[in-house]
Amino acid sequence: MNSFVRAACIAAAAALTTSIVALSPATAAQSYYSSCDALHRDFTHGVAKSFKAAKKQVRAGYGMPAYGRHARNVYWTNHSRLDRDDDGTACEA
């Protein structure tokens, strides 16, 4: 019976670890967007590949796009579809 209890505890710990990993923000964060409307729900002024590209948009009269680590990942995942003018910022607004 002791080995049965030990096996049950190990199985429960493994299930708990799996659910914790599945709920972590890094894995839950979306990086693919089908359109600029969808991206704007999470990033109001779009996403930039760098701080320099973000500042360029501000100088052009747009709002400051996101440029942090997650925003850069979103940019590189979506730039071929959503950065039509190839200026380093996707979905500037």
pTM of the model: 0.67
Identify the H or E element spanning 10.
Answer: helix 2-22
**18: pLDDT strictly greater than 50:** no
Residues contacting residue 92 through CB under 8 Å, at least 6 positions apart: 45, 46, 57, 60, 62, 63, 65
AA identity, residue 58:
V
Model pLDDT, residue 93: 87
Residues 46 and 86 in one domain: yes
Residues 79 and 48 in one domain: yes
pLDDT 10s digits, 56-68: 999 999 999 999 9
Model pLDDT, residue 91: 95
Rounded average pLDDT over 73-85: 96
Residues 54 and 75 in one domain: yes
Domain that holds residue 91: 31-93
Model pLDDT, residue 66: 97
Residues 52 and 76 in one domain: yes
Share of the chain above pLDDT 70, in %: 69
